Amino acid sequence: MIDASARRLLVFREVVDLGGFNTAAVRLGIAQPSVGAHINALEAQVGQSLLVRHRGARPQLTEAGRIVYELASQVVRLNEAAGLRLANLKASQSQEVVIAAHRDLAVSFLPQRLSRFAARHRRSRVVTRIGTIEDVLALVESGAVQLGVLLASGPLQGLKSEVVGLEPMHLVVGKAHPLARRATVGSGDLKKASFVTGLRNSRYFGIVEAALQSIGLVDYQVALELQESVAVKEVVRQGQSIACLPRCTIADELVSGALVILSVEGELTPLEIRCVYKAAPGQGAQQVIAALRE
């Protein structure tokens, strides 16, 4: 008998499926040393090595690792199925819809739409959890929430989703930045400038990079990587850097003049606002999706 928690087995499965400790840490939203601690503890419980690790190479399963991986896959699958069934049961009994929202949308896109939903459906209740794109996807995949609302640049592998809106992307600088006074900013100027971005190994960085590629910007200098868009905005406001941000995150700063949109050659591809779900949404969740489309 293997006395290991479902969480520890999940971490082990993610390391194997994703091919590394760092990518597993990003997916799970935990620090890389925590992933290593889970794997070391699991190996101690089993009494055998589960992975053959070489720096720079994908970890390989030992024979014991293959046995534990099979167990981990079964446990995670059963745990997710049970969580989804319990969430659906709770929703049907209480008319409660639990959603996970990307933090940039939670303060701009959701409030007005959810307020309208609440006014129309007074017997329903919406509970919102907020986090990174990785957090939202993990909550949807585990069945802890019925819906996820996030920014994306296309369909998400392994989950059903539908577009409920589009979010414009802009290149912005502080009002004192030299490029702020330019009528048009060319690609040469952008390649020479320094950028502030999200964390390079995050999904958010990936969708922003796709937007930059839509105007032909594939080679640019990243001066800082920050997890929070609030921090990105503050660095841009005070310094000499550029950021590519959704309009919803910078609306107030544009009104106040603290940030300025650069006029560039070409048009940045807007991001999609997607509702994602693992199972077919129930009536309450469908009503929330309809409200988000308005």
pLDDT at 150: 94
* Structural domain spans, the chain: 6-83, 95-166+272-293, 169-269
State the pLDDT at residue 158: 86
Neighbouring-strand partners of residue 274: 150, 163
Q: What pTM was estimated for this model as a whole?
A: 0.66
Architecture of domain 95-166+272-293: 3-Layer(aba) Sandwich (3.40)
Instruction: Say how far apart CA 166 and CA 268 lie, in whole Å.
Output: 12
C-alpha dist (Å) from residue 194 to 74, 180, 225, 264: 47, 14, 11, 16
Cβ proximity of 145 and 100 under 8 Å = yes
Taking 50 as the pLDDT cut, the residues of the chain under it are none
CATH architecture of 169-269: 3-Layer(aba) Sandwich (3.40)
Same fold, 6-83 and 95-166+272-293: no
Q: Which CATH class is domain 6-83?
A: mainly alpha
Q: Mind listing the pLDDT tens digit for each residue in 201-252?
A: 888 888 889 888 998 888 888 888 888 888 888 899 888 899 999 998 898 8
